[in-house]
Structure 1
């Protein structure tokens, strides 16, 4: 996850979006045909149509109950052979942990490493840990692939029936796969988990040599690596893990093209938290790992259907040349479920490329309908990634 002029950015410059759409508002016959004939998740070319000045769909953003949100992405690149990149205390209850760290060791030489997540039971009685959602990706230098598959696997995962018991004072690896992975230089370790604990705990993300267990490395290290601040989205425990997004008004297809914009740092500010090693206020630039549960009411008084697309609004340049995401969308022309964006290739580039997410049919009598989506900011891609709603003839 990157914020500015770094090799694999997530956000490059925040521009205020105007509420007047000065781009082309009318789809050509070829573009309509391309949308209506496209497969779900495929790239569709919309020349001279996509713009950062598409009118907003206003919404209310409600913080919903959710797990403690712990993220390890600062320092994103761990430059020392052994060190703790994150260490945070968590209370009994639900925890969402997002590990996004890279083997960045070049001194004394590039070397294979292990990056593992460890939890210690700091309570007085045995801890019961039960995994609710689990996503663990093989280490890779293809950050787009890892971020895209990581979200898709998280959405698809189910609660585990097994319970891990951890003795008071004991340290264990949260994810056995991370314990086994060998991470070479510039490879990303990506783990995305949600679990419950019934005792207080201490979570650490550590880089060490492949032969040393994560718990053993944490036990012999005393200090947490300093923050790099400019090389990652942030680290700490954050106060928001789930948003409910409710549109202010019923969107009518007769009102033309409109978009939902989230995780832009302006309309949707970055969530705040605390950073345990310094007691400083932490900012999660990008809101990574936060789940946006969206409910959009719409109707069609002109008989048009509604195409939902997304695109790489920061497309182009050295840092934002591609975008890849995964989300959950309700039923329309295609079945409800998880869709990788794009589905027919790894990434999308810049405009005129758009990704078809879903097509919604108008009600026969023009009655109100509700579109439901679960969206989260895509790791390794520039933000924002708008959701654009386009009235079309079906």
Structure 2
């Protein structure tokens, strides 16, 4: 696997430091020539070593956050580990229209012994007319213990998917598996079932996430299990129905490369708070710790008064926070620049990035010939299995 690093006679190059001005952008003294070369020569999506560059005190770009119209949003990740042989981890009503479901559950059965299970999403038609269901976006991975891969590949598949041209029909009172493959997949102990779905329905319904044995149809198990498992929020992000599924993030000020480094920070739980939803079975309000499954459509205006390009990078600032934060993997959709517009897995030369001084190059945006203002667009979603936040760092670089 290719990995770019900075070296000079076998030693790391010391980067020129920069000052952080309170309440405004840092006035950078400039990155070193060696680091500039590394960034310029790194392939899109690849990791690179940037010693001395990354820290959580980089100047923040302020932004407006707009709630966009979007689907009803459900997430099943609390309890994340289903410890009983048969149980329902989530049961939520849905109304006619579009629905997004993020399924993130693990076979955690240890008693009376570890055993193979199935975990599946079931949708029941609770209306009085036939329901028609059609997938708009679809992502489903084989059960795996590689949670980072599931999160990264899941987003990539979701972004790349296209709407189905046919609809399935469900009679009143009947139910089907939302993802038929899940009714056949064997889930071993500690394996994750990861699914990310967006679909449209024309009747009211009910969605259940059920774990059961391999011989029992998921629809049968969902019907006979009358209660949901208790929540264990210390072991999962959340469950229930959330009123926000899409954000638009618009930077308030035009970034100028002459002002040096800056970062966009979302999904940190403070500047960008966790969204609140409601769990139907208990009526309790639930925080979605991580905003997983929410799409951020980010828009940034920038210009180059000094002729420099603008590199977009990301990194894992929580790499030292225990075993669960030791890696970060993501997928984004990014507008064109030095590299073409499209979906990019981060990183795409290895499974995860670990911690500073390692970063991932997402894109390099090239300056306009006359220094005029340009627009950058990218789509971000908090990466499943990764600790947050994942800062989006903008670094001026010289491409000459």
Confirm or deny a common fold (TM above 0.5): yes
Partner Cα distance (2:368, 2:28) in 1: 27
State the secondary structure of the residue aligned to 1:219. helix
The alpha carbon displacement at 1:24 in A equals 8.1
- 1:1-394 pair list within 5 angstroms: 26-318=30-322, 319-394=324-399
Partner Cα distance (1:87, 1:63) in 2: 25
Compared with structure 1, are the counterparts of its residues 19 and 138 closer, same or farther at alpha carbon in structure 2 (3 Å cutoff)? farther
Partner Cα distance (2:75, 2:61) in 1: 30
The alpha carbon displacement at 1:20 in A equals 7.6
State the secondary structure of the residue aligned to 2:142. strand
Alignment check: 8 A CA contact 1:313 1:351 kept: yes
The alpha carbon displacement at 1:26 in A equals 3.2
The alpha carbon displacement at 1:25 in A equals 5.8
Partner Cα distance (2:88, 2:80) in 1: 12
For 1:173-212, what per-residue CA distance to the aligned partner results, in whole angstroms no more than 9, with x for missing partners? 0001111110000000000000000000000000000111
Partner Cα distance (1:158, 1:363) in 2: 33
The alpha carbon displacement at 1:317 in A equals 3.9
For 1:55-78, what per-residue CA distance to the aligned partner results, in whole angstroms no more than 9, with x for missing partners? 001100000000000000000000
Partner Cα distance (1:271, 1:200) in 2: 24
1:4 alignment partner in structure 2: none
The alpha carbon displacement at 1:37 in A equals 0.5
For 1:79-105, what per-residue CA distance to the aligned partner results, in whole angstroms no more than 9, with x for missing partners? 000000000001100000000000000
Partner Cα distance (1:54, 1:310) in 2: 13
State the secondary structure of the residue aligned to 1:139. coil
Partner Cα distance (1:116, 1:239) in 2: 24
Partner Cα distance (1:125, 1:321) in 2: 50
Q: How many residues align?
A: 377
The alpha carbon displacement at 1:29 in A equals 1.5
Partner Cα distance (2:264, 2:144) in 1: 32
Alignment check: 8 A CA contact 1:23 1:50 kept: no
State the secondary structure of the residue aligned to 2:220. helix
- Superposed CA RMSD: 1.3
Compared with structure 1, are the counterparts of its residues 20 and 320 closer, same or farther at alpha carbon in structure 2 (3 Å cutoff)? farther
Q: Which runs of 5+ in 2 are unaligned?
A: 1-21
Alignment check: 8 A CA contact 1:304 1:362 kept: yes
Partner Cα distance (1:25, 1:99) in 2: 46
The alpha carbon displacement at 1:110 in A equals 0.1
State the secondary structure of the residue aligned to 2:333. strand
Compared with structure 1, are the counterparts of its residues 360 and 21 closer, same or farther at alpha carbon in structure 2 (3 Å cutoff)? closer
The alpha carbon displacement at 1:22 in A equals 8.8
Alignment check: 8 A CA contact 1:23 1:51 kept: no
Alignment check: 8 A CA contact 1:23 1:49 kept: no
Partner Cα distance (2:68, 2:28) in 1: 37
Larger radius of gyration: 2
Partner Cα distance (2:284, 2:115) in 1: 32
Alignment check: 8 A CA contact 2:311 2:397 kept: yes
For 1:22-75, what per-residue CA distance to the aligned partner results, in whole angstroms no more than 9, with x for missing partners? 998632221111100010000111001101000001100000000000000000
Compared with structure 1, are the counterparts of its residues 214 and 352 closer, same or farther at alpha carbon in structure 2 (3 Å cutoff)? same
Partner Cα distance (2:165, 2:220) in 1: 27
Compared with structure 1, are the counterparts of its residues 317 and 271 closer, same or farther at alpha carbon in structure 2 (3 Å cutoff)? closer
Alignment check: 8 A CA contact 1:102 1:187 kept: yes
State the secondary structure of the residue aligned to 2:93. strand
Q: Which runs of 5+ in 1 are unaligned?
A: 1-17
